[in-house]
Amino acid sequence: MLVLAPAACILSGIALSSAFDVLTRSMKFQLSKLFDDGPAISGNGSPNGSSASTVNTSSSKNEKTEKSEAAPKEKQSKKNRRKDKEVTESVSVKPKKEKRLSVLPLEASIVSTLLLIALGGFYVVHCVWAAAEAYSAPSIVLTSRSREGLHVFDDFREAYAWLSHNTDVDDKVASWWDYGYQTTAMANRTVIVDNNTWNNTHIATVGTAMSSPEKAAWEIFDSLDVKYVLVVFGGLVGYPSDDINKFLWMVRIGGGEFPHIKEPDYLRDGQYRVDAQATPTMLNCLMYKLCYYRFVETDGKGFDRVRGYEIGKKHFKLTHFEEVFTTHHWMVRIYKLKPQKNRIRGKLKKLKSSSKTSSTLAAGRKKNPWQ
Amino acid sequence: MAEREHRSSTVVLLTHGSKSNQAKPKEDKRSDLISVSPSSALLTSPAMAPSVRATVLLLLLLAASSSSQAAQAAEDGIRVLSAEKRIDLTGPIVKVFLTLKVQNTATGADASHVLIAFTPAEADHLAIVKATRAEGKRKKKTYIPLPVSPADPATAAPNGARLYSISLPTPLKPTDTTTVEVFYVLTHSLEPFPAEITQSESQLVYYRDSAVLLSPYHVQEQGTYVKTPSSRVESFTRVDPTSRSGPDVKYGAYGNQLPYAYSPIILHYENNHAFAVVEELVRKVEISHWGNVQVTEHYKLKHGGAKHKGVFSRLEYQARQSISGASSFKNLLARLPPRVHSVYYRDEIGNISSSHLRSDSYKSELEIEPRYPLFGGWHCTFTIGYGMPLQDFLFESADGRRFANLTFGCPLLNTVVDNLTIKVVLPEGSKSPQAVVPFETEQHLETSYSYLDVVGRTTVVIKKKNVVGEHNVPFQVYYEFSPIFMLAEPLMLVTAVLLFFAACIVYLHTDLSIAKSQASS
């Protein structure tokens, strides 16, 4: 529908222009009739019959309203009668070739002109307001009006600024692809997938990691050399475009590439749910855990404002990730991959037990760290 | 020596070495400022490096003391009758107030200087030293500031101790006494220990100093009073008589100390004050003769306390504020001049909306909140800019030059700036700029280019390290400017528009057609 906007603008411009044309011409005509004599009138062109009658009524009105100008009115009326004769003559002579000029009464045209100018003024005000309110949503700074005024949710920039200043330059951040360009531009960190979405397998890898349990997700992220994982969570403040709502795409895209991710595992009655009726696969996947980690402690019940119900799994601990930053309104949560502690202990045990050198371990062959 | 038995360490005597020809005080009256650089002090003991920590210094002093016991009287014949040292450890910066009552015991010579000594570590972290003397009796007491300058390196002090000399306004006659009050500020002298803390822990720091005053003179009577912010003092070295009551620790009256006596103490206490360190601050002050002074400041802020390790839990931070993140800070206060306008607070990625400006008739206070609370070791950068009316800051001096009266230092309260750069951009056509700053700075000139500049604007660049709040004093930048240069910019614009109109006129009146049109023929 916005395509029609330029056409509407042009048409309204034409309409306003012709309206002003008629009104100013009326005013000019009426005013010249008030002050001048006959010859000046003819220059305007000959009015048609219907307008002549309105001219008559306007002159009579003029007589009523402008009592001080008695003499010119008499003149006017004489002029009008003369004009009537002219008009009827001219109309009868050239009925079709005459240009039909509409002339309105003087007060009506003055009032209409002023109203149109006021309309133009209000239109400017309205446009400025509409542009500020409806067309200026940057979608990275969210605002809401409360009784105390404007409440600003600047969580995205807070998280990106934190990443930019408090992580090492070479650290990689894994998130869903929606935030890729923003992370690259504002946080100045390398991301795994970004808005370019040219590599579906890569996106599917991240999606699979988000849909897998913690251990498998840790392995996938570790193989990609990721240090930080970023999730967007709107449940505390009611921000609807968060990662839990986008989760179905992570499952579908991941499932498209990796067959062990099956969408029905996450569905209960054909719906994605995160409350007590959610499937165990859903309640154990990384996205759920990272979004709702310690969320129950905010209000005691874990009520998700976006989904509108209490979450299913409330008390749990993270084993492979640790929380390094959460923004002010909990909208962006950043987690760090925990290093492999168990592997070192295993290494020491092996060194102690056997006298052989740790050549196999020192070769750096990647073993599964959690076995 | 028998009366000074201590539990921790013995009093160490520092010796002057074998030099007996000390320069007379009268010859020290050299008014040029000697820049203090770490390598300038003459070292009597070749094993010492100036930047060593106090504890290592004292171990070596212990060795040195065993060699020679000869204590020479101070060369100016001054004796300190009583010394009172008050150390304020409540904030991130150490402030020391020293009251010295000195007497000139030399028989013939007048004393015009009083020397004070600092260890090399203290001297490296010394931000400012000020001295005053009280004049007049009780109700009419006025404090006259006294100039303090680094002493002539020729006056050697043992083991690399640095000397500063306070010039007395009137020389002290023999057997006369006077009271001098010294105030100095040490930055980065509190070492967080443990060096890394979690979110729920409190920050504990070490403070190293001496129980007896390090002075080039005999000190007859002295006491040191230490004030900590809370009553949690983990440990402190006991040098009898020592007493502690709540947050205050008193190193009681010691009598008859020899010159350069030093008794190291360590205080381990809790300090949760915000350790805001501005690593780099670049302030650009642009003076425009059209009525506005625009200031733009770029900050690199860091939390200089114990580093944060482990998890940052927003839940703990918001729910349990009293125990979580005790040493973190989330807002800073900046004091700006009154009548500032167009204040902005942004960083590289955009405007930061969490700030408040409150102004009244003699100051404005800008309270800024960085995007995230700062825990130990976290950084952030931001820019603050504001404009001020020109008539508050530009004046004419007696010799016809104009000068801008600006405030040095950083407007953020309770912070220390590691590297401060102030650039004063003077209007185009200014000549012979000169900056007069009450303390030691590095200055040079540059040229900056801005709108409608042809030759560029002269910029005075002033740099200083280790700047604290006590450095926020006015300084002046003098320059010559003939008023006719003010017409340069309007004339440029007028000429440009004039040329454009002239070109239009010429274009409209020329006939560029090749063939003559029929009307003209």
Query: Is A53 part of any domain?
Result: no
Residue B55 pLDDT greater than 80, yes or no:
no
Q: A123 and A226 in one domain? A: no
Residue B280 main-chain phi, psi, to 5 deg? -145, 135
Query: Is A363 part of any domain?
Result: no
Q: A317 and A206 in one domain? A: yes
Query: Is A199 part of any domain?
Result: yes
Q: A251 and A124 in one domain? A: no
Q: A122 and A242 in one domain? A: no
Domain that holds residue A131: 7-32+107-136
Q: Do A158 and B371 touch (CB under 8 A)?
A: yes
- The band of B108, judged by pLDDT with boundaries at 50, 70 and 90, is confident
Closest approach of chain B CAs to the CA of A197, in angstroms?
Answer: 24
Domain CATH number, residue A241: 3.40.50.12610
Residue B62 pLDDT greater than 90, yes or no:
no
Report pLDDT for B156. 74
- The band of B465, judged by pLDDT with boundaries at 50, 70 and 90, is very high
Q: Do A186 and B349 touch (CB under 8 A)?
A: yes
Residue B211 identity: A
Q: A210 and A123 in one domain? A: no
Query: Is A287 part of any domain?
Result: yes
pTM of the predicted protein model: 0.76
Query: Is A308 part of any domain?
Result: yes
Residue in the structure block whose two tokens are 């109700």: B139
Q: Do B349 and A294 touch (CB under 8 A)?
A: no
Query: Is A347 part of any domain?
Result: no
Provide the 8-state DSSP code for B392: G
Q: Do A161 and B314 touch (CB under 8 A)?
A: no
A202 neighbors A176 (Cβ within 8 angstroms)? no
Residues of B in Cβ contact (< 8 Å) with A166? 377-379
Provide the 8-state DSSP code for A127: H
DSSP string across B85-104: EEEE-SSSSEEEEEEEEEEE
Report pLDDT for B335. 94
Report pLDDT for B255. 86
Question: What is the mean predicted confidence (pLDDT) over A101-129?
Answer: 90
Report pLDDT for B266. 92
Query: Is A267 part of any domain?
Result: yes
How far is CA A66 from each of CA A24, A114, B8, B491, rounded to the nearest angstrom?
A: 21, 21, 111, 56
Q: Do B379 and A326 touch (CB under 8 A)?
A: no
Q: A331 and A184 in one domain? A: yes
Residue B166 pLDDT greater than 80, yes or no:
yes
A71 neighbors A37 (Cβ within 8 angstroms)? no
Give how many domains chain A has, as a whole number: 2
Query: Is A49 part of any domain?
Result: no
Report the mean per-residue pLDDT for chain B: 84
Question: What is the mean predicted confidence (pLDDT) over B25-45?
Answer: 39
CA distance B453 to B413: 36
How far is CA B304 from each of CA B43, B262, B269, B373, B384, rounded to the nearest angstrom?
A: 32, 29, 17, 13, 21
Q: A329 and A196 in one domain? A: yes
Residue A157 pLDDT greater than 90, yes or no:
yes
Report pLDDT for B14. 39
Closest approach of chain A CAs to the CA of B297, in angstroms?
Answer: 19
Residues of B in Cβ contact (< 8 Å) with A157? 349-350, 371
Helices (H), B171-323: 314-319
A46 neighbors A98 (Cβ within 8 angstroms)? yes
Q: A206 and A326 in one domain? A: yes
- The band of B112, judged by pLDDT with boundaries at 50, 70 and 90, is confident
Q: A173 and A317 in one domain? A: yes
Question: What is the mean predicted confidence (pLDDT) over B313-334?
Answer: 89
How far is CA B458 from each of CA B433, B455, B492, rounded to the nearest angstrom?
A: 8, 9, 20
Closest approach of chain B CAs to the CA of A146, in angstroms?
Answer: 16
Of B311, B319, B347, the CB nearest to A324: B311
pLDDT in tens, B258-268: 888 888 999 99
Residue, of A86 and A115, whose pLDDT is higher: A115
Residue in the structure block whose two tokens are 């890394």: B196
Report ipTM (2 d.p.).
Answer: 0.79
CA distance B182 to A354: 68
Residues of A in Cβ contact (< 8 Å) with B303? none
Q: A310 and A181 in one domain? A: yes
Q: A254 and A203 in one domain? A: yes
Closest approach of chain B CAs to the CA of A196, in angstroms?
Answer: 21
Residue B53 pLDDT greater than 80, yes or no:
no
- The band of A70, judged by pLDDT with boundaries at 50, 70 and 90, is very low
Q: A132 and A235 in one domain? A: no
